[in-house]
């Protein structure tokens, strides 16, 4: 049986390529990509009240408080285009946020179908992030902030995979290779779970 909805999460260290792969997956499955990092960056650039509240936290590479982040995600997932699925990128990022998401999805009679874990060694992540810093000039891509963000990933975010692994929904994907190779690995894993991509237009 193939399924016509897809509720997905992509998890990986900064620089693992999850942003790029996330967009490809969202496109292929016809679901919106919900990236909390993108939401925060857009608000900072636009100078909104939210942006002003989170700017220092984001620029220092720390986590925005769980309540605030979860509220943003809940509001976004309540929009019509997320009714038959979504791809979460960058949320949940710690065990507290996993509880918030569980509570929200359970309340809607939904659950995550699959969690894609992009596996990239720390040295490779650092190399890719340094390159991105040169190309995009992100203020949170300095060497010091990169190290902090990777530490937070290892200490706070990686443990969420244990919870999802127990539920049997994690697909660990080798994140080293060409973009297309990695996309194919992800599609193969999701297909094996009976998750159908939308027909090509
Ligand atoms: P990202 O682009 O996902 O690496 O996110 C950039 C920054 O946004 C992070 O370093 C955090 O400061 C903030 N951020 C993004 N997602 C979350 C989240 N789920 N919880 C807390 N802070 C977040």
> What distance in Å separates the CA atoms of residue 193 and residue 13, rounded to the nearest whole number?
24
CA distances in angstroms from 147 to 30, 69, 112, 128, 200, listed in the order given: 34, 22, 30, 13, 40
149 is catalytic: yes
For ligand 1, mutation pick of 93, 100, 120 (most atoms within 8 Å of CB): 93
Please name the residue ranges forming H helices in the chain.
18-29, 36-46, 49-60, 66-77, 95-107, 122-136, 143-152, 158-166, 179-192
| Per-residue confidence in pLDDT tens, the chain, 201 aa | 555 689 999 999 998 999 999 999 999 999 999 999 999 999 999 999 999 999 999 999 999 999 999 999 999 999 999 999 999 999 999 999 999 999 999 999 999 999 999 999 989 998 888 888 888 877 777 888 889 999 999 999 999 999 999 999 999 999 999 999 999 999 999 999 999 888 665
Nearest residue by C-alpha to atom 5 in ligand 1 = 37
**Ligand 1 neighbour 24 (Cβ under 6 A):** no
**Ligand 1 neighbour 36 (Cβ under 6 A):** yes
Q: Of 50, 37, 52, 57, give the one whose Cα is nearest residue 129.
A: 37
Nearest residue by C-alpha to atom 2 in ligand 1 = 37
Which atom of ligand 1 is found nearest the CA of 35? Answer: 3
Cα of 58 vs centre of ligand 1, distance in Å, is: 7
**Ligand 1 neighbour 14 (Cβ under 6 A):** yes
The tokens for 174 are 């080798």
Q: Of 92, 103, 116, give the one whose Cα is nearest residue 29.
A: 116
Cα of 65 vs centre of ligand 1, distance in Å, is: 10
Question: What confidence score (pLDDT) does residue 2 get?
Answer: 57
What domains sit in the chain, N to C, each tagged with a CATH number?
Answer: 6-192 (3.40.50.300)
Question: What confidence score (pLDDT) does residue 83 get?
Answer: 94
Question: What confidence score (pLDDT) does residue 175 get?
Answer: 96
For ligand 1, mutation pick of 15, 63, 138 (most atoms within 8 Å of CB): 63
């Amino acid at each position: 049986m193939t399924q016509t909805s897809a509720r997905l999460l992509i998890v990986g260290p900064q620089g693992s390529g999850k942003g790029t792969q996330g967009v490809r997956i969202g496109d292929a499955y016809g679901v919106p990509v919900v990236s909390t990092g993108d939401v925060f960056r857009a608000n900072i650039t636009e100078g909104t009240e939210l942006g002003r509240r989170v700017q220092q936290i984001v620029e220092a590479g720390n986590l925005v408080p769980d309540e605030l982040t979860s509220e943003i995600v809940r509001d976004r997932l309540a929009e019509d285009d997320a009714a038959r699925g979504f791809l979460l990128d960058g949320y949940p990022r710690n065990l507290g946020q996993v509880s918030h998401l569980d509570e929200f999805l359970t309340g809607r009679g939904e659950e995550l179908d699959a969690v894609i874990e992009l596996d990239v060694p720390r040295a490779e992540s650092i190399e890719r992030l340094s390159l991105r810093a040169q190309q995009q000039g992100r203020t949170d891509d300095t060497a010091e902030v990169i190290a902090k963000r990777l530490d937070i990933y290892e200490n706070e975010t990686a443990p969420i995979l244990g919870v999802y692994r127990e539920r049997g929904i994690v697909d660990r994907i080798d994140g080293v290779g060409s973009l297309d190779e990695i996309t194919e690995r992800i599609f193969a894993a999701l297909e094996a779970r009976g998750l159908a991509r939308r027909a090509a237009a």
